[in-house]
Chain A
């Protein structure tokens, strides 16, 4: 898998997610992808994000899952986002 995100940023992103995942009650976009697709699916999502939609990762992925970017929704991204939206809606 080709990657655009470099270490140690990727590891830092995981650690952030890991900290936030403990006892969390609201589902961020990054967390929803992780829960639905596992670590590899999440890394793929981050790479997609970096390549397609500019802006800092953490600020974006901390946003609520219901606020996925139109561009992401339009692309379908191999079904990842469709799965994640169904999952996030089921949590609300």
Chain B
């Protein structure tokens, strides 16, 4: 089987956050000589690692070594696979999923104060947030967050 253009597939995997960080560590014979098995596709490598233990009865140590992943990765992969199936092998996006200080209630409070006409005093709003919620938020963070929200809303329309 001929290989698809490698850069295109790699770019697609990278955009999906599914690029194996160390594809050269994948030593399994499956991943050499057949374009279907791609050592750069982390979801496929994880599935094949789990499969090699379940079907081919490899030990966990041997499987993790052959597929270039750690033993903890094996156990994490297995747990996710048992809970969610193949979809569980898709890497989760790293980083915070939402603001941990500027939560919904804080943002609503800020917006209420923004309705007051006149120049926005971000330092004052920041102080009011601290007094009401006990959270120290930099005035620039409040301004940036509101700007981002406005931009997102405009893009959605």
Contacts and interface: CB of A to CB of B under 8 A. Distances in A.
Interface of A: 1, 3, 6-8, 10-11, 14, 17-18, 21-25, 31, 34-41, 43, 83, 87, 91
Contacts of A83: 8, 12
Interface centre among A7, A8, A10, A38 (most CB of B within 10 A): A38
A10 B86 contact: yes
B44 A10 contact: no
Contacts, number: 71
A64 to B, nearest CB: 16
Interface centre among A34, A39, A43, A91 (most CB of B within 10 A): A39
Contacts of A11: 85-86
How extensive is the interface on chain B, given as a class?
Answer: 20 to 34
Interface string B1-18: 110110011001100101
Given A23-B1, A35-B4, A38-B18, A7 B9 contact: no
Contacts of B44: 38-39
Contacts of B35: 35
A6 B17 CA distance: 22
